[in-house]
Amino acid sequence: MTKFEELGLQESLLRAIQDMGFETPSEVQEKAIPILLDKETDMVALAQTGTGKTAAFGFPLIQKINAESRTTQGLILSPTRELCLQITNELKSYSKYDNVNVVAIYGGASITDQAKQVKKGAQIVVATPGRMQDMINRRMVDISKIEYCVLDEADEMLNMGFYEDITSILSHTPKDKSTWLFSATMPKEVSIIAQEFMFDPVEITVGSRNSGSDSVVHEFYAVSGRDRYLALKRLADANPDIFSVVFCRTKRDTQSVAEKLIEDGYSAGALHGDLSQNQRDLVMKSFRTRQIQMLVATDVAARGIDVDDITHVINYQLPDEVETYTHRSGRTGRAGKNGVSMVIVTKSEMRKIKSIERKIQKKFEQKAIPTGIEICQVQLFHLAKKIHNTEANDEIEEYLPAIMEIFEDTSKEELIKRMVSVEFNRFFNYYSKTRDLNQPKGNSEDNSSRGSSNEHSTRYFINVGSKDGYDWMRLKDFLKETLNLGREDVYKVDVKESFSFFNTDNDKKEKVLAHFTDFKVDGRFVNVEESTNSGSSGGDGRRRRDGGRKRRDGGNGGDRKRRSRRSETNTASNSSGRRRRSESGGNERERFRGRSRRK
Ligand code: ADP
Ligand code: MG
């Protein structure tokens, strides 16, 4: 394996690299750095998002800059303010032992402040095309002597309609500079730029062109259109440690999905173009600090997102362009980590999956939306691990003897069972009453109607399910026979894996409940209870998100919405001083009332 030492980098950079903890160069770095150091040449480098392109041009650029001169020698154009700042920070840490000034130029901040910084002597300017154009027009920056021009994330810049700005900016630069173009994909527009503005560029390709990164697994989930949102929640619940970007097609959907998630108690936030820069900054800050676990975003707004460790990209809706899908999924699986790109599709969108597969040359795996019971299992183990890994709070010490007394008669097993139940019941109670969201497989009498209790009808829970050999017809027959009821008396039978639901009219309720007291089948207690689920809410919702990761400081991007949409927003501190978020409102709160979660 090649080492950084073998690429021809100077000592000061090697030291900085060591400080940053980079051990070996990534492929694009290994390929690009020696060439860029060795000669003055144009270059087109194609490599997936997250493969270390910034350093691939950043290291050589810093080495080639004459730190003695204060003239602006390098210009980096990047699509968004986010990226612009990110690149600037990266370059600053690369050049910590070299006396190079890097200045960021981007919209939404004081142009005069930026001009002042440039004036102090900026050997490298990192800019968004719009603001750069602006500053050129106002003669606040001089790029007539640059030797290196980097077009970073060129595909995204062009996607965002910066073609004219770019060509105009380039017209202010010297002809004999070197131009380095870095891009994740190579759409037509990028090759046009390369043809027009570059001279015999060296081409570097990492991985195959336009193909997705290998560290990303692609999955799709087929649901009916009206279940999209419920499916999204299940995907989140089945992945308790999820840190994700959820892509929607429109600003409106983005806002409404984020609002719904927040209402249902998830740590979510919206990112789209109708928000002010300030609001967007806040959301991004919350996301970076993990206060937001699910960032719901439009494609355009998400262009700036460059956050490592995103575990899942969720395509709430598929984009029109395959390129866009590539960009979306490239948000995960970065920096050597693995990631999952999930797509929620309806039957009619299935052919889109095929066309994406062809384009990215990867197969999608069709997966089933987790069932309630599966989610309960995941949450149960997550909870057990969480308790196991929780650092005990010493403040509790003084109460310990008294607490010990309370538990004197409780065995360790029993204690653990009860502790876990405190939280688990919430999931169980909720999920035991939900249906399968996957496209009908015919195990339910009526997939379209959620069972419910109303003034005439009672809904019951019964602890037998498909595991016990029942489908809805068998269970209905069984109930009819044991209860001695007629064909129409038992309805809305919904069979899950290990439990089921059914309805009778209210006048049968006494009979049903009485019959199933101490009722055994094959030596096993068959238990029927009235289901507390009011059911009629479309509510797959529940839950508050645990506040474990939330910081005390720092705003939350969702706050604005939460205030306006929810009457009850309760942020309290628990004993360990962490923030917790209140349970979601409405129905959900009703359902979980009385759980002593908060003090
Ligand atoms: P790209 O521009 O290709 O999307 P970045 O340059 O933003 O990727 O790099 C992605 C992440 O990988 C960053 O956090 C960066 O610090 C890290 N990184 C880059 N090069 C290396 C390396 N050689 N070893 C370890 N981490 C690296
Ligand atoms: Mg980059």
Residue % of the chain over a pLDDT of 90: 37
Would you state the pLDDT for residue 559? 38
CA distance 423 to 387: 11
Within 8 A by CB and 6+ apart from 510, the residues are none
Judge whether 346 and 438 are in contact, CB under 8 Å: no
Strands 339-345 and 365-366: unpaired
pLDDT above 50 for 535: no
pLDDT above 50 for 167: yes
Torsion from C-alpha of 274, 279, 282, 284, nearest 10 degrees: 10
- Among 124-138, 223-237, 537-551, which is the least confidently predicted range? 537-551
Would you state the pLDDT for residue 180? 97
Nearest CA to ligand 1 atom 25: 22
Q: How far is the CA of 198 from the centre of ligand 1 (A)?
A: 26
The string of pLDDT tens digits covering residues 382-401 is 888 888 888 888 888 888 88
> What domains are defined for the chain?
4-205 (3.40.50.300), 216-371 (3.40.50.300), 374-431 (no CATH), 457-590 (3.30.70.330)
- Among 46-55, 58-67, 550-559, which is the least confidently predicted range? 550-559
Would you state the pLDDT for residue 581? 34
Would you state the pLDDT for residue 440? 53
DSSP string, 371-419: PHHHHHHHHHHHHHHHHHHPPPPGGGGGGHHHHHHHTTT--HHHHHHHH
Mean pLDDT for the chain overall: 81
CA distance 302 to 321: 15
The closest of 162, 111, 165, 166 to 140, measured between CA atoms, is: 111
Q: At what angle do helices 129-137 and 163-170 cross, to 10 degrees?
A: 40
Q: How far is the CA of 586 from the centre of ligand 2 (A)?
A: 43
Ligand 1 pocket (Cβ < 6 Å) reads: 22, 25-26, 29, 47, 49-55, 306, 308, 334-335
Would you state the pLDDT for residue 213? 56
The string of pLDDT tens digits covering residues 208-235 is 544 445 678 899 999 888 889 999 999 9
| pTM of the predicted structure, to 2 decimals | 0.49
Count of residues making up the chain: 599
Judge whether 436 and 471 are in contact, CB under 8 Å: no
Ligand 1 pocket: which of 2, 51, 205 to mutate (most atoms <8 Å of CB)?
A: 51
Within 8 A by CB and 6+ apart from 595, the residues are 422, 425, 426
Torsion from C-alpha of 7, 11, 17, 18, nearest 10 degrees: 110
Nearest CA to ligand 1 atom 1: 50
Question: Which protein residues have a CB closer than 5 Å to ligand 2 (ion)?
Answer: 53
Q: How far is the CA of 55 from the centre of ligand 1 (A)?
A: 7
Would you state the pLDDT for residue 580? 33
Would you state the pLDDT for residue 19? 92
